[in-house]
Amino acid sequence: MLKNIDPILSPELLAHLRAMGHGDEVAIVDANFPAQRVAQRLVRLDGVSSTHVLTAVLSLLPLDTYVDAAAHVMQVVGSEDVPPIANEYRDIVVKQSGSAFGQLGKIERHAFYERAARSYLVIATGETKLYGNVILTKGVIPPAN
């Protein structure tokens, strides 16, 4: 155990987050997502909500400031709309990373699957809310003065 680190962040998950470089992506996906099929690297956190995982990951992971949106959600099938859980994700992103990240990108379902397959890491959660998926782009930590 370590102080000030959420215990759901396992040694395996911490190692993957640490190994990611600027511009690498991590997909946090719900219980219905085909994570085993698409993931290059997969960490399972069954029984943990995607909002809890997002909060824990963003407590350590800087978001990319050089992209239009550093967080993307899956669009509702047949619509330009995003699911209700996207509002929760936006609130978490803003609270953890700042108001500059308040605009979430949205990705069509099959394009989301493809992007998740290209992601450095997929974290499969126990989230049961539909479309409970988000992809984050890792940024940089500025050098200390």
Cα separation, 107 vs 105, whole angstroms: 7
Residue 72 a catalytic site member: no
SS3 content of the chain, % helix, strand, coil (to 5): 35, 20, 50
Catalytic annotation, pick one of 16, 24, 64, 131: 64
36: burial class by Cβ within 10 Å (0-12, 13-18, 19+)? Answer: exposed
Known catalytic membership, residue 113: yes
Indicate the residue type of 90. R
**Catalytic choice (89, 113, 120, 131):** 113
* CB contact at 8 A, 61 and 26: yes
Q: Is 64 a catalytic residue?
A: yes
Catalytic hit among 22, 66, 81, 110:
22
The residue ranges of DSSP E strands in 60-143, in sequence order, are 71-74, 105-107, 121-125, 134-137
* Active centre residues (catalytic): 22, 64, 113
